[in-house]
Amino acid sequence: MKGSLEANYAEALFELCNERDILDEVHSELLWLSEVIENNNELIKFLNAPTVESEDKKNVLKNIFESQLSKTSFDFLCVVADKKRIRYLSKIIDSFNSLYNDENNILEVTAITTVPLSETLRKKLINKLESVSKKKIVLSERIDKSIIGGIVLEYNNTQIQGSIKHRLDELRDRINSVIA
């Protein structure tokens, strides 16, 4: 990702935030902005429309976001819009989030289970992952009944399979290799 458009924008904002000592504030605002964008396809279509004047786009951004964001975050959003890079905003935010996590020794992990984790199990899992990774764990959960049972952990493009479905698939493959 280094050297990509998304990385360049993220790195520039990251450095600015570090200089101004507003990294945490801007990080949380960008996470919020990412959710807003993810849930508002019409807004993204409007901001990407080549037939809409830049001034109109800026006015819409001002009406929606100026009171919700710090000056730095709002100005950054306007720059991205002015440069016609709104379609990259989600990836820019992802890249910024990666920089933030690296800076703060954070590892985001997704736990996939068939039922929500109990609070006790959640705490044990976080403690175990923190002791193994030596990083602060930010755990998100996703329910997927197709795994039948067990747990699947995803982080940094890595997947640790501990699901019953995976074990059954492995068993089926071994049986098929013996039979074939």
Q: Give residue-wise pLDDT tens across range 92-136.
A: 999 999 999 999 999 999 999 999 999 999 999 999 999 999 999
Provide the b/e sequence for 151-171 (b: ≥16 CB within 10 Å).
bbbbbeeeeebebebbeeeee
What is the number of domains present in the chain?
Answer: 2
> Does 126 lie in the same domain as 94?
no
- Which residue, among 25, 39, 122, has the nearest Cα to 71 in the 3D structure? 25
Angstrom distance (rounded) from CA 109 to CA 119: 16
Structural domain that includes position 84: 5-102
> Does 145 lie in the same domain as 117?
yes
Handedness of CA 29, 38, 59, 75 (dihedral sign): positive
> Does 148 lie in the same domain as 73?
no
**What CATH number did the domain enclosing 133 receive?**
3.40.30
Percentage with pLDDT > 70 across the chain: 98
Q: Which residue has the higher pLDDT, 82 or 30?
A: 30
Handedness of CA 15, 20, 24, 30 (dihedral sign): negative
∠73-157-128 over CA atoms, to 5°? 95
> Does 79 lie in the same domain as 126?
no
Which residues partner with 109 through β-bridges?
139
**In this predicted structure, what is the pLDDT of residue 105?**
97
